[in-house]
Structure 1
Amino acid sequence: MDNPLKIFILYARFGDGHWQAASALRQSFAKLGRVEVKLVDLLGESHPLLNEVSRFVYRKSYTVLPQAYGWVYQRTRTMKPDSLLASWLHSFGVPALQKMVEDERPDAIVHTFPTLACSQVMHKLRCKIPMFNVITDFDLHLRWVHPDTDKYYVATDDMLRQLCELGVDPRRVAATGIPIRPEFQTSAAAVTGALAGKPTVLVMAGAGMAPARAAGLCRSLARRCDARVVVVCGRNRALRQALEEQLGDDPRMTILGYVERIQEWMAVSSCIVTKPGGLTLSEAIASGLPIFLYRPVPGQEYNNARYLENKGAAVICGSIGQLTNAIAERLEKPRLREQMLQAIYSLRKPDAADTVALDIARQLNIMEVVPDIDNGKFRHRDDSSRVPAGPEMQRRAICEQVIP
């Protein structure tokens, strides 16, 4: 059988996190060999106008009525998969996905965003497509949960237990961590070495932070913590320009736009100030960085923040003064910093993307592969390893009857 394994990864552009997780998985599937991966922004392709409006509203939720977004998130957090609301949310993109399935016949569909249109497509086509959900937050919203899901990949052991308490078979859940790029597997020694000179505070200020507040935060950090401050403005050009005008003459400040290789800055930083998106938090944990969260917005990000704070891996701060004092305290008191680092290390799930990709390949029973320790990739056991098993052949036969 020479046909490659074909996998769709469905994501959304509400922030970069879902796309980054999908991209990390694509890299890991590529290591397996003979795997064809297609990344699909399902809402963007099927409803471009609705997608742009939704993204605009989501971005504005950081500064305009964040409480309203948080209220909606919490009210829908426990919705049932068979509810009218869940069915409606999962209906977006069904015709577009159905056409893709008919045209390309994927062997599996992976979600890094909880628009689970796959289930309705399977119902319409009367065929089984293996369906995997990679949850990209530290908080469980039941929009991710559906009885047609073959397996869930989650950030923590606590979330694994939550799903099992909801009645999900433990064999259908794996606490792998959130998939991030392999460049973030930084050693603790490299991070500790950053403290040898003047400490560096990495501030991720791209979303939801007004220029005046960001400038005040940077000045306060430099003064109170005697630190070098690296500010990442992301794609917010207006913020970068404003900070360059206000702080550009200060040698303690480094002001950046979008940074492709952010792991290099994380590796030389002493701590990070960020909004609590699941991917950024996972990258900080992998890099061994104490995490400080400034005024997280209600919703999944606030719940992420609360989870990490309860674990001792992050500190939530409601004011610039509180934030700078909290950072200074961890920099000045090695015992407090060490406690925080121990909590961070306890949450680490190394090589999450590779683990998820390998497990999905095994779930599909398509190929048998083993880690190649020497080059950090995967290799096939032998040329006969990629033999479709009975269930896969049956699934293809069923689909052939329905999809001419």
Structure 2
Amino acid sequence: MRPVHLVYVSAGGGHRAAARAVQEELDARKIPNVMMDLLDFSSDLFKWSYSDVYAFVSEHAHIACKVMYELTDQDREESAVLRLLEKINMENVKKFMRYLTENQPDVCVGTHFFPLSVLSHMKEQGLYRGKIYGIVTDYGLHRMWISQFVDSYFVGGASVKEDLLQAGIPEHKIIMSGIPVMKRYGELYHRDRQRYKSNEFSILFVASSVPNSLVLDIFEGVIESGMSLSLSIVAGRNEDLIEQLERITIPSRVKFQLLGFVENLYDYMAEADVMITKPGGLTVSEAFCAGAPLLMINPIPKQEINNAKYIESHNAGIWARSASEAIHHLRDLYSSPEKLQIIRANARELAFPHAAKAVADAVLSALNI
């Protein structure tokens, strides 16, 4: 059999993480597969403009993100700008189109709308004959996910399903699977949290993609709040932030742990009473499995804002619009364990710990295995 192709785009880490979760499940079943970044088939300049510029703008220029989102959240037939943009995109991934034409995998799974658009275009032109599956990696739908020849969409929430239905996608093509997470996150759903939890009120702050100024404001607010707690900050590879945090004097009532890049974030999630983070689709899905109540900050317009609204609508987390709001909510949760327990239970209700299995099952069905 030809390997299943898992195609993502390195615009943020979530698309790759979802593809990796599906790959993990396929590997466990010994199903041949290939995982690839669509942008690796383009020029260095195009990859930089699509990936690195996106990373910079999403952290530092939210107005630009909002404008771009609204500009591209249109019907292809009605938007000349969108058709022009897609034409430019197709010109820059011709190597991928040649590769796929020559190899003709039976199934391609896209975890970003760009691969779905390319694959659908190829199918329309008779250049690709296999199945096309799309995994929507947020809790709101951008219309660029809509491509004519996608055979099935895997979604994480009822709101995305409703948006797809309104866009004319038949219900039988929509699978409420959840957004795929790695097994170590899925296993947290079944973990006895009380066995691992200390008596301290614990905060996990994933700050790697948050502006330094906001991180420092929240950190200083926690220190000045008078709360006795455990605080772990994951700064990733942000060395400037790490250096700034290391210069701050920490009172003894705050048990502080400063971390760089970590590969076992699931362990920290399992112990957290509150997780402060940007509401990216994969991060949210992992937190749901861990039952980690979310305090969401600095969401990217509009996809992460849609995620935040979805979570708030289910009382599975809180969106703080500023550092002062974040401290206010932390104080409230610190003194209200009952409220914290309700939010945790609601988060677990939204969890899909076996989402990758649902995708793999559909792939195996398509391959008649």
Secondary structure of the residue aligned to 1:61 is helix
Secondary structure of the residue aligned to 1:79 is coil
Alignment equivalent of 1:334, drawn from 337, 346, 351: 337
What is aligned with 2:100?
101
> What CA distance in whole angstroms lies between the structure 2 residues aligned with 1:194 and 1:325?
27
Cα 1:92–1:285 shift into 2, 3 Å? farther
Counterpart of 1:209, as a letter, is P
> What CA distance in whole angstroms lies between the structure 2 residues aligned with 1:23 and 1:127?
24
The answer on 1:285 being equivalent to 2:310 is: no
> What CA distance in whole angstroms lies between the structure 2 residues aligned with 1:124 and 1:188?
46
Equivalent residue runs for 1:2-401 within 5 Å: 4-33=1-30, 35-80=31-76, 84=80, 85-86=82-83, 88-89=85-86, 91=90, 93-115=92-114, 116-185=117-186, 186-187=188-189, 190-192=192-194, 196-210=198-212, 212-224=213-225, 225-246=227-248, 252-362=255-365, 364-367=366-369
Most deviating of 54-63 and 310-319: 54-63
- Output one character per residue of 1:341-400: Cα deviation in whole Å (capped at 9) or x when no partner: 2321221112111111111211x1420xxxxxxxxxxxxxxxxxxxxxxxxxxxxxxxxx
> What CA distance in whole angstroms lies between the structure 2 residues aligned with 1:227 and 1:335?
18
Are the counterparts in 1 of residues 205 and 234 from structure 2 also a CA contact under 8 Å?
Answer: yes
List structure 1 segments (4+ residues) > 6 angstroms apart after TM superposition. 248-251
Cα 1:353–1:188 shift into 2, 3 Å? closer
Are the counterparts in 1 of residues 41 and 96 from structure 2 also a CA contact under 8 Å?
Answer: no
- Output one character per residue of 1:56-95: Cα deviation in whole Å (capped at 9) or x when no partner: 3222224543112112212322433785515743625541
Cα 1:156–1:234 shift into 2, 3 Å? same
> What CA distance in whole angstroms lies between the structure 1 residues aligned with 2:64 and 2:273?
35
Secondary structure of the residue aligned to 1:292 is strand
Counterpart of 1:19, as a letter, is R
Counterpart of 1:157, as a letter, is A
Query: How far did 1:273 drift?
Result: 0.3
Counterpart of 1:285, as a letter, is F
Secondary structure of the residue aligned to 1:91 is helix
> What CA distance in whole angstroms lies between the structure 2 residues aligned with 1:46 and 1:165?
34
Are the counterparts in 1 of residues 106 and 131 from structure 2 also a CA contact under 8 Å?
Answer: yes
Are the counterparts in 2 of residues 222 and 229 from structure 1 also a CA contact under 8 Å?
Answer: no
Are the counterparts in 2 of residues 81 and 143 from structure 1 also a CA contact under 8 Å?
Answer: no
Matched length: 361
> What CA distance in whole angstroms lies between the structure 1 residues aligned with 2:158 and 2:91?
31
Counterpart of 1:61, as a letter, is V
Give the CA RMSD over aligned residues: 2.3
Are the counterparts in 2 of residues 93 and 117 from structure 1 also a CA contact under 8 Å?
Answer: no
What are the ranges of 5 or more consecutive residues in structure 2 without an aligned counterpart?
A: none
What is aligned with 1:382?
none
Query: How far did 1:195 drift?
Result: 5.5
Secondary structure of the residue aligned to 2:304 is helix
Percentage identity across aligned positions?
A: 23
- Output one character per residue of 1:166-188: Cα deviation in whole Å (capped at 9) or x when no partner: 22111111011111101012147
Secondary structure of the residue aligned to 2:295 is strand
Query: TM-score, with normalisation over the residues of structure 1?
Result: 0.83
Cα 1:52–1:203 shift into 2, 3 Å? same
